[in-house]
Amino acid sequence: MGSYDLALIHVPSVYDFRERIFAPGPISEVVPSLYVFDMIPYGFLTLLTYLERRGFRVGIFNLAAKMLLDRSFDVPRFLKKLEADVYGIDLHWLVQAHGALEIARMVKELHPNSLVMLGGISASYYWQEIMSSWPTVDAVVRGDTAELPMEKLLKMLETGEKALNGVENLVWRDQSRVRENSFSYFPTEMDKFEVDHRLFFKHLLRTRDLGLSAPFASFLESPIGSVLTVKGCCFECETCGGSRSAYKRFMGREVLALKSSRAIASEMASIAELARIPIFILGDIMIGGMKRAKQIIRELRKLDLENDLMFEFFNPVGRQLLTELRSLGDNVYLQISPESPLEDLRNAFGRSYTNEQLERMVRNALRLDFKRLDLYFMTGLPKQTPENAALVSDYLEYLYGKFDLKGGLDAFTAPLAPFLDPGSKAFERPSDFGYSLMFSTLKDHRKALLEPHWRFTLNYETMWMTREEITSASRSAALSLAEAKAKLGITDQERVEIIRNRVTFDAKAEKIAESVRAKGAGVGALERLRTELQELVGKKELELKRELYPSHRLIGSLRLKGLMRALLKIYLGI
């Protein structure tokens, strides 16, 4: 495997999840990751491309995926063999808080002369607490774009430079002192940070371990690629740590960074050359206006991709844009997150559009015969009660009746879990939005991730629902939606039974967790929970994930000619 200039390490949310008894519940319900949040951040791919093109040796190591796929995988043994000048660990979303800091400690103990650093949104928010409370972390790189700072850092280390004052956005440990460099690097264009997926393939050939290099654990079963189109946000969803105000205050970004249509198409082509896997376009292409959206579509139309394409929208879009998207082919999927069927709840959350506008998009999408339009809903919103949290199933049935549908429309529901995002308006001013924050420090969030049930991990309650009511309402909403989907022919009864079993198990696990916290649960009850948990997660969770996205096994999606061209270019050093 050799030595690396930079080893990028993705960790499970809880480092020792394989030894702990806990019921994670539906906290990763609507993302490809399984319950330990095993999907690498997109920034790992941009760092790999940017730095490898400049002569550095970079590796991506997905410990979370490897630990899921190989229960006997020895993490300390692997880390001891992994040689690098810098170990970069992502603390992007706060759910990685336990794993990130545990792996940082372990790496520093095994490689005391190397630099151990964290990066990501949560690391940027909590940098002061990290540097004051975790001496095994040598540095934090703040902000949403680390490529140039990392290039400067690696060049300085190559020359033996110990003083890192010239690296923008870096907070670092200078012996016993913590030094804060200027927080000043916020690029407003993204094209030079595009991803070349052939370099990821090159990295896979180095490691010869797909589990360790996979973007997420279920990649072999249900692969999906992604292309990021924007950094920053122009929306203000109340609980989002990636909202406009959160980015401005804690990430330093006041201006959106938009990727050009040419660069977006180039990235998508580099995926399509290697495999016929679905590609998710991250970020609403309407950000930047209709002109930019049409330019993106025109560039994609030139590629004539056979891959399934998925587009997300933050507001309903009109027939004109939908018609343009439909020209990309028959395998185009659309997503939008109304959060609630009730307009006043949606508006209170920060999504200011009406059901009439949403339903107009539904009608137009279905008339244009898109492959599928997915609606995403949430439990844990302002003004939401246990009663109206379950209205998702009624609304889906209403839409099917109103438009006389036989398919093409699907819906998903999940709790707002496990945390209100640090930096969001609801986290910073919870009472203004009807929230009550249970804890706020990084240390307390780390501790909460070790709770035996996800109800006790939640860092919030609302004026309208306690944590117990949020978990119960989430279960009820999931089951009633599954039953409605079976009734409408969207899913089958087997899936309903899987969800019913999950809901039953989760309620039972919650009761056992209450006993554990009260020191009243016997060893027998805990062992039964462990056995049932092992049966529940993994395969059955993966089965549910396949409903989210079009599913094709990786082995049947590979393009032999593209792989051979990539191998040749790697061999020739092109």
Q: Cβ distance 302 to 267 under 8 Å?
A: no
Q: Is position 479 within any domain?
A: yes
Instruction: Select from 390, 327, 338 the least CA-distant residue to 360.
Output: 338
* Mean predicted lDDT score pLDDT of the chain: 90
pLDDT in tens, 134-193: 999 999 999 999 999 999 999 999 998 888 999 999 999 998 899 999 999 999 999 999
Average pLDDT rounded to a whole number, residues 451-471: 95
Q: Cβ distance 12 to 64 under 8 Å?
A: yes
The pTM (predicted TM-score) of the whole model is 0.93
Whole-number Å distance between alpha carbons of 471 and 379 = 9
Q: What sign does the CA torsion over 330, 333, 334, 340 have?
A: positive
pLDDT at 199: 81
pLDDT in tens, 65-77: 999 889 899 999 9
Whole-number Å distance between alpha carbons of 42 and 167 = 22
Average pLDDT rounded to a whole number, residues 406-427: 94
**What is the CATH classification number for the domain harbouring 353?**
3.80.30.20
pLDDT at 566: 61
Domain co-membership, 41 together with 141: yes
Average pLDDT rounded to a whole number, residues 192-217: 84
Output the six-digit token pair for 557: 């999606």
pLDDT in tens, 518-551: 775 555 666 666 666 555 554 555 455 556 556 6
Q: What sign does the CA torsion over 233, 238, 239, 241 have?
A: positive
Q: Is position 206 within any domain?
A: no
pLDDT at 322: 98
User: Does residue 568 carry a pLDDT above 90?
Assistant: no
**What is the CATH classification number for the domain harbouring 11?**
3.40.50.2300
Domain co-membership, 162 together with 260: no
Strand 83-90 and strand 115-119: the pairing is parallel
Q: Cβ distance 423 to 442 under 8 Å?
A: no
pLDDT in tens, 278-330: 999 999 999 999 999 999 999 999 998 999 999 999 999 999 999 999 999 99
Which residue has tokens 């709840």? 345
- Give the residue ranges of DSSP H helices in 214-285: 244-250, 261-274
411 dihedral zone (left: phi>0; alpha: psi -120 to 50; beta): beta
Average pLDDT rounded to a whole number, residues 548-567: 63
pLDDT at 25: 76
Strand runs labelled E in 273-371:
279-282, 309-313, 332-339
Please work out, in degrees rounded to the nearest 5, the angle formed at the alpha carbon of residue 14 by the alpha carbons of 444 and 439: 15
Cα→Cα distances 445→95, 380, 415, Å: 8, 18, 18
Which residue has tokens 């009472």? 431
Whole-number Å distance between alpha carbons of 291 and 43 = 27
**Domain that residue 118 falls in:** 3-180
pLDDT at 525: 65
Radius of gyration of the chain (CA): 23
Domain co-membership, 228 together with 122: no
User: Does residue 104 carry a pLDDT above 60?
Assistant: yes
Last residue of a domain, one of 148, 180, 212: 180
Domain co-membership, 291 together with 171: no
Which residue has tokens 């997300």? 312
- Where is pLDDT greater, at 430 or 536? 430
Cα→Cα distances 562→227, 264, 269, 274, 302, Å: 19, 19, 11, 5, 18
Output the six-digit token pair for 499: 């969800």
Whole-number Å distance between alpha carbons of 206 and 213 = 10
**Other residues' Cβ atoms within 10 Å of the Cβ of residue 312:** 18
Domain co-membership, 135 together with 231: no
- Where is pLDDT greater, at 357 or 497? 357
Structural domains counted in the chain: 2
Output the six-digit token pair for 380: 């844990």
User: Does residue 560 carry a pLDDT above 90?
Assistant: no
Average pLDDT rounded to a whole number, residues 484-507: 91
Domain co-membership, 154 together with 231: no
